Copies of this chain bind each other. A is one copy, B any other.
Amino acid sequence: MRRATMRDVAAAAGVSFKTVSRVVNDEPGVSGPLVDKVQAAVAALGYRHNLAARSLRHSEQRTASMAVLLQDLSNSFSAQLMRAIDDVARERDLVVMATSLDEEEEREHGLVANLIKRRVDGLIMMPASRDHAYLQREVSAGFHVVLIDRPPINVDVDFVVVDNVGGAKQATNHLLQQGHRRIAVITDEVRVATARQRLDGYRTALAEAGVEYDGALVRAARSREAAAEAVQELLASANPPTAVFSARNVITEGTALALRRAGLSDRIAMVGFDDVPWAELLSPGITVIKQDALAVGRLAAELLLSRMEGSTDPPRHQVLPVQLIPRGSGEIQTS
């Protein structure tokens, strides 16, 4: 059950297959009657234009496609990035390939190689790896890459990140202002750049306030459950925190869960990094440092498109601001 080709259509319509090509591509220079005959044959045979063959021959070998590599497409932050990127791509009729890296470096390398073999026109990636030098060769060969959420390491390419250090400082300062001195922080694993930056911001804020850093208040957790456990342990410790800075959305979930279970939602203050859709449904509402995922995604897509359209500007480094949204949980004072 082979698909019909232009030659098949040409034979059925009694014209040359170049005429079919003209009709299919809406090129001028074909008489009305012939156009009709060709279209009739196309319909009769169920012919479908083959874009792969087209782009192979076409002068500028574009595939009108791009790829998005995130860590976990089911995470709401990533899902929003994807959505924003897709919205921009849609305007240009670009198809978007998307997948999750799950912080696996090997997977990142394999996928980038695979996508280049497929000749996607560009890539937006939240990198899992900590060395992006391997991208240099591809970028030099004309492959376009925009990193997102995490800055490039050992290579200079376009990127869009948010002010993680500033946001974490702001979160910590906010809690300090409510009188808290024992502020726990739960972050992602330190190999993740954003986790390191947010921890930096936390430490800087403490230092500036003259509050001593206490490693016992710092935990790493990847999942919601791990975060909940970490908070539970901290609460049960000899010298428990009076406030928590949860440095990532799933950690915020885990923290809220642990506080609820302990019946301490109204006693222990918390500020989360990254807004969550249910933040205002809780009592108290969750105070967060909001990063505008849609803006990050949109901007990254626009940077990529400008490259695909020929921009040769030097690599552009975009750091978007974040915003503290007080909703109650972060305004709980020390008693």
Contacts and interface: CB of A to CB of B under 8 A. Distances in A.
A64 to B, nearest CB: 9
Interface stretch (A31-39, A45-53, A214-222): A45-53
A46 B116 CA distance: 11
Contacts of A119: 50-52
B76 A72 contact: no
Interface string A204-224: 000000000000000000001
Interface string A92-110: 0101111110000000000
Given A119-B50, A253-B281, A278-B253, A100 B76 contact: no
Contacts of A52: 52, 55-56, 63, 118-119
Contacts of A118: 51-52, 65, 95
B256 A141 contact: no
Interface in A44-79: 46, 48-53, 55-56, 63, 65, 67, 72-76, 78-79
Nearest to A281: B256
A40 interface: no
5 contacts: A46-B137, A46-B140, A48-B116, A86-B98, A260-B280
Given A73-B79, A86-B99, 12 more contacts: A46-B140, A48-B141, A50-B119, A51-B118, A65-B118, A72-B83, A74-B79, A256-B278, A256-B281, A257-B280, A278-B281, A281-B282
Interface of A: 1, 3, 46, 48-53, 55-56, 63, 65, 67, 72-76, 78-80, 82-83, 86, 89-90, 93, 95-100, 113-119, 137-138, 140-142, 224, 253, 256-257, 260, 276-278, 280-283
